[in-house]
Amino acid sequence: MKKINFSAGPAILPASVLTQAAAAVENLDGSGLSILEISHRSDAFDAVLVEAEQLVRELLNVGDEYGVLFLSGGASTQFFFTAMNLLNPEETAGYLDTGSWSAKAIKEAKNFGKVNIIASSKESNYDHIPRGYTVPDGLKYVHLTSNNTIFGTQFKEWPETDAPLVADMSSDIFSRRIPLEKFGIIYAGAQKNLGPAGATLVIVRKDLLGKVNRTLPSMLDYRVHIDGGSTYNTPPVYPIYVMMLTLRWIKAQGGLEGMEKHNERKAKLLYEEIDRNPKFRGTVADDFSRSQMNVTFVCTDEADTAAFQAAAEAAGCDGITGHRSVGGFRASIYNSMPYEGVETLVRVMREFE
């Protein structure tokens, strides 16, 4: 029995993508070479990069005023990369503190300029997305983490501000439609909704760059990577190839509109069962904050935890253990999770009841 991968990341990939990616390891498109051994300067990989960028632009409606980059280093590198490229020491950026990843981004940004924490849910263990806050004027940018994998929360509305938004979308990129014009930078590690670990997608508005006073090392300057077409240094070839395959798959599913409907349907099924079933309760404080990507819940009676874990694993549900800071369970139901996978978990919950 193939297991159903509910892991928070690296995470589930579409079955068709896995098949194509596996075949390319042996022989890329009949070239006689493995995707693992082709040059990043070859025509074959250039075609991969071109198609991957075209699909990003098509799916998110990204215009020429933005650069699209495929980098390494993960979202954690972007925590400082963004501030280093945008923020002067005398300037202030606004940050929304909604979880572990936003807290790390705040820590890194303080190395380069002033940070104003506009709103935070830290005092309640990040169990909700703050509302009712006011974004002050004069900020260089406003940073947020759109979906919080650990705590199971997600932004459903974007901050009202004239400042460009900078967003870590690692765990919900391409899961729904977004108003791209509000964003100055979007970055996302690939290993949730895009592909295997090792590549990072960055979408950056070009007119925001070149305005800091510090000297930027070449590898940490967005402009260098834009000019180099993501090949200033050797990029993560295989992860980018799998990203391209996944983007093709997303387009074939109806693009972001199709993904949005798919994800809403899955999340609705699971949350309704959590709310109905007396054996379980959700950990997020309100419906507005609930994530459609990472569903967190606990057993009403903590003594049931081990038994339910065993029942879920026996049914092939893998990776549902919650993060240690929340406990209980976390079902990550990213784009690639089929509806049937969520149905299996819900069936286990009902049988357990």
Binding-site sequence positions for L-glutamate? 41
DSSP code at position 163 = S
The C-alpha atoms of residue 130 and residue 125 are separated, in whole angstroms, by 12
Are 208 and 202 in contact, with CB atoms under 8 Å apart? Answer: no
Does the annotation mark 101 as catalytic? Answer: yes
Residues 205, 188: contact at Cβ < 8 Å?
A: no
Q: Which residues pair with 144 in a beta bridge?
A: 167
Distance (Å, whole) CA 55 – CA 24: 20
The closest of 162, 222, 201, 197 to 62, measured between CA atoms, is 201
Q: Which one is catalytic: 101, 127, 140, 221?
A: 101
Annotated binding site: 41, 75-76, 101, 149, 168, 191, 233-234
Cα–Cα separations (whole angstroms), residue 329 to 99, 251, 283, 296, 299 = 17, 31, 10, 6, 8
**Residue 114 is a catalytic residue:** no
Q: Which of 97, 140, 172, 192 is catalytic?
A: 192
Element (H, E) at 184: strand 183-189
Name the binding residues for pyridoxal 5'-phosphate: 75-76, 101, 149, 168, 191, 233-234
Q: Is 302 helix (H, G, I), strand (E, B) or coil?
A: helix
Q: Which of 97, 127, 168, 221 is catalytic?
A: 168
**Active site amino acids:** 101, 168, 192
